Chain A
Amino acid sequence: MKLFINGQEETVSLEEASIAELLSHKRVEMPEMVSVEYNGRFLRRDEYERIRVKDGDRIEFLYFMGGGSN
């Protein structure tokens, strides 16, 4: 299955994986660290288990970055 993850085309051998499984496959330790954009739509956390990725999907894992001042 070909996916576009963070703008890069990747072949992933996880058929019908959930977003949660994809996060763990991509070694995102805690799902709370990212916001997930799936085919242009931002997902709610409660959708991570339910949504199954399919060939050609575009997924962005956007990390929280809080730094700036201190």
Chain B
Amino acid sequence: MNLTEEQIERYSRHIILKDVGGAGQEKILQAKVLIIGTGGLGAPAALYLAAAGVGTIGLVDGDTVDLSNLQRQVIHFTADVKRLKVDSAREKIEALNPDVKVVTYPERVHAENIAAIIKDYDFIIDGTDNFPAKFLINDACVLHSKPFSHGGILRFDGQTMTYLPGSACYRCVFNSPPPKGAVPTCSEAGILGAVAGMLGTIQAAEALRYILGKGKLLTNRLLIFNALDMEYRQVNIRQNPECPICGERPIITKLVDYEQPVCDLRSRYHA
């Protein structure tokens, strides 16, 4: 693959980086990244990966754009309200960078479809908003040996870790989904829009560094930040021998769907 004159100019600030260079930029242009959830995390991740020239970006989301999304989901604009999020996001990515091929999946991931969706991608970004999806993505990536970035946000807080086959997985830390109602969602508890951007761009940087094979990924450590006091910390984690999917005696050997959360306002008032 040879970069065109236009590409050399477009990606010049990457190419002058010692750890990217022309060869690294070519790797980025050939890479395939899947973003599951085109919301608070997926929106900034998609924009930065598109700008970086990731060759193929897959977008999975069955939802339509809601007015309350626009406070943080920066890939969607006011005129996009009620449109499918994947259509809205595809349009922005294509306008930003014609080098990127966008593949859309206007659906939710579930135990039956996820293996086929992740199969063709090099790296997966979890930008979903619910625990059934987060555990399903972890399980699918562990069972199919796919690297992925976990991201979670709430109020002013964010957490992220990266899984590579052989490193600690999300279940090594969080064994199983919390009972419904124990952990509020962003729609119940709120989220500072910029926090979604901070975390989504960390996830995009993980994907790019994985593609380039440069630096130290967020494997075997959980990065936690609180943007109210702007404090970051890292917790070292390691593969848990009791992990139900990657431990010594795994009990999860095929994908299962946990009950999808009902976005119930009732739990907020009756908690």
Contact = CB atoms under 8 A, between A and B. Distances in A.
Interface in B50-92: 61, 63, 69
A69 B128 CA distance: 5
- Size range of the chain A interface in the assembly: 20 to 34
Interface residues of B, number: 46
Contacts of A32: 178-179, 182-183
A35 B263 CA distance: 23
Interface stretch (B4-12, B13-21, B24-32, B39-47): B39-47
A27 B236 CA distance: 24
A66 B131 contact: yes
Interface string B149-179: 0011110011100000000000011110011
A44 B242 contact: yes
A30 B191 CA distance: 21
Interface in B121-170: 126-131, 134, 151-154, 157-159
Interface of B: 37-42, 61, 63, 69, 126-131, 134, 151-154, 157-159, 172-175, 178-179, 182-183, 185-187, 191, 196, 222, 224, 233, 235-238, 240, 242, 263
